Amino acid sequence: MAKTEIKTKATEVSVADFIAAVPNEKRREEAVIVDAIHRRVTGLDPKMWGPSIIGYGSYDYLYDSGHSGTMCRAGFSPRKAAMTLYLMGNYCNRQDEADALFAKLGKYKTGKSCLYVNKLADIDLEVLEKLIILSWDSMNEYYPE
């Protein structure tokens, strides 16, 4: 089987320029808020990953299938349909803690490792920050540097 090249890689595109170019003013303002939360939690400056993901840190992964790559440890994308946050899906056996936080978060949807928020006004930002901390800690536990 041919090895497929992962498209989502760290780039040298300016995060500030990317956020400034987000077409919707409200989504742009929300991106600044979510970026500030991630910077506080991770202590890192972000990089662009692919054309639209703002990511913090990185980790190397290897699937049982042999597929491997590098991806950001935490990140988000201010997409038109929803603010998309990338969180660790299994929280390293801290799922009860995650479930309790999700119960207090507000209005959202989830995917496998994604949190979709239509507008930040629909959620509790302190709870969001706790979820990002939990995800960040879990990533660092599961993928130690």
Report whether pLDDT(83) > 70: yes
Task: Write out pLDDT tens, residues 101-143.
Answer: 999 999 999 988 899 999 999 999 999 999 999 999 999 998 8
| Residue 63 vs residue 20, higher pLDDT | 20
pLDDT given at position 43: 98
- Give this prediction's pTM: 0.91
Task: Write out pLDDT tens, residues 37-81.
Answer: 999 999 999 999 999 999 999 999 888 888 888 999 999 999 999
Class of 15-140 in CATH: alpha beta
| Residue 136 vs residue 145, higher pLDDT | 136
DSSP secondary structure, 99-117, as one string: HHHHHHHBS-EE-SSEEEE
Domain ranges of the chain: 15-140
DSSP classification of residue 73: S
